[in-house]
Amino acid sequence: MSNIQGKVVIITGASSGIGEATAKELASRGTKLVLAARREERLKTLQLEIQNNGGEAIYKVTDVTSHEQMEELAELALGTFGKVDVLVNNAGLMPNSFLHTKKIGDWNNIIDVNIKGVLYGIGAVLPSMRARKEGHIINISSVAGHSVGAGSAVYAATKFAVRAISEGLRKEEYANNIRTTIISPGMVTTELTESITDGNFKPVVEKMYEGAIDADSIARSIAFAIEQPSDVAINEMIIRPTSQER
């Protein structure tokens, strides 16, 4: 626990799913949390739960598609705790649909959140990490970033992009002692399926997700990557339900 306790961790998409589970897991291990999401009431509830259990957390309502808001989030962390040790780029959408349905709005939203949001997060924390010659950026990709299924073309494209960005970041910043980790979950019990707007496609995905694992499983994996000694980088993990084939 010594290499994780006291670390300052920013988590985007912290109001539910993997982000919420990660916040609780890391709080139990003694980290100082900066929680970010768009839903303030959920952030307040999570902050209170963490504090009631002896943890330390602040929050900021943040839209990851806004470069300015992501910069403000990093500034809040630095102003409050004096450093940012870890960024967990977790916020994401999965509005899957077949390409012929031309869900243009969904395409734009998923690119803005899943790709630009990750880039804005990286850009916000890199200057202070480079100055300290220390840091850790964890990007949440997906098994869809390894294998494309029918109906997931745009989502998979964004998750392939997250992996490409992460590997580029690793090669650019390893000499500055900045670690990078890609977490690629399979089916996990989250609110991702709620972002699907295609009424014909959504029931199919929901049926597939009946075998999903708890978000706690991903949270423990994130904690494992963080707690490694500073000379060890867990660069990538794929975490599926045992019963998931693809």
Each residue's pLDDT expressed in tens, for the chain with a length of 246 residues: 469 999 999 999 999 999 999 999 999 999 999 999 999 999 999 999 999 999 999 999 999 999 999 999 999 999 999 999 999 999 999 888 899 999 999 999 999 999 999 999 999 999 999 999 999 999 999 999 999 989 899 999 999 999 999 999 999 999 999 999 999 999 898 766 667 776 666 776 766 777 788 999 999 999 999 999 999 999 999 999 888 877
Work out the burial of residue 133: count CB atoms within 10 Å of its CB; fewer than 13 is exposed, 13-18 middle, 19 or more buried: exposed
Distance CA 101, CA 219 (A): 35
CB 234 within 8 A of CB 228: yes
Interval 124-140: pLDDT, tens: 999 999 999 999 999 99
Distance CA 78, CA 213 (A): 34
pTM summary value:
0.93
Of these residues, 59, 120, 155, 209, which one is catalytic? Answer: 155
Both tokens assigned to 224:
């494992």
For residue 49, what are the contacts with CB-CB under 8 A and spacing of at least 6? Answer: 24
The predicted pLDDT at position 243 comes to 83
What structural domains and CATH numbers belong to the chain?
A: 8-239 (3.40.50.720)
The predicted pLDDT at position 203 comes to 72
The predicted pLDDT at position 210 comes to 75
Interval 150-199: pLDDT, tens: 989 999 999 999 999 999 999 999 999 999 999 999 989 876 666 777 66
What is the rounded end-to-end Cα distance, in angstroms, of the chain? 34
Bridge partners, 213 (sequence order): 188
The predicted pLDDT at position 242 comes to 84
The predicted pLDDT at position 58 comes to 98
Active site residue 155: yes
